[in-house]
Amino acid sequence: MSNYELMVEDTFSAAHQLSGYEGKCENLHGHTFRVQVFITGDKLDKIGMLVDFKMIRAELKKVLDEFDHTNLSDLPLFKEQNPTAENLAREIYNRLEGVKPSKITVWESEKACASYSL
């Protein structure tokens, strides 16, 4: 079990539509997605950090910039799958370089989120 857990959060704005969904979400609509990256571990470096927050923020920003102000449904990544919060969480997890997240949580609204972890 890990002794430390870090969390860094950022947001991006994007539109999407959910193919095959029976309801309003089948239509094009937008969200300001809130993304949280969690990193766990038990060994700190020589200055007392698990991972520098600055590095986590920079890596997250690189990934989120790919999605920001786009229609997610038009991206090649989402041609075979819907751009749901669940699929976004997995894709963000897999695209982060330089940091190994323990979990990614994507908030679609203030009251609804999806998480992905291995």
Q: Give the HSE-up count for residue 11: Cα atoms under 13 Å, Cβ half-sphere.
A: 10
Give me the catalytic one of 22, 25, 29, 91. Answer: 25
Edge-to-edge order in the sheet of strand 103-109: 4-16, 29-41, 103-109, 112-116
74 — phi, psi (to 5°)? -90, -10
Give me the catalytic one of 22, 80, 97, 110. Answer: 110
Q: Give the residues across from 15 on adjacent strands.
A: 30, 71
110 is a catalytic site residue? yes
Give me the catalytic one of 9, 26, 29, 69. Answer: 69
59 is a catalytic site residue? no
- The CA distances from residue 30 to 60, 62, 75, 102, 103, in Å, are 21, 21, 15, 28, 24
97 is a catalytic site residue? no
- Enumerate the active-site residues: 25, 69, 110
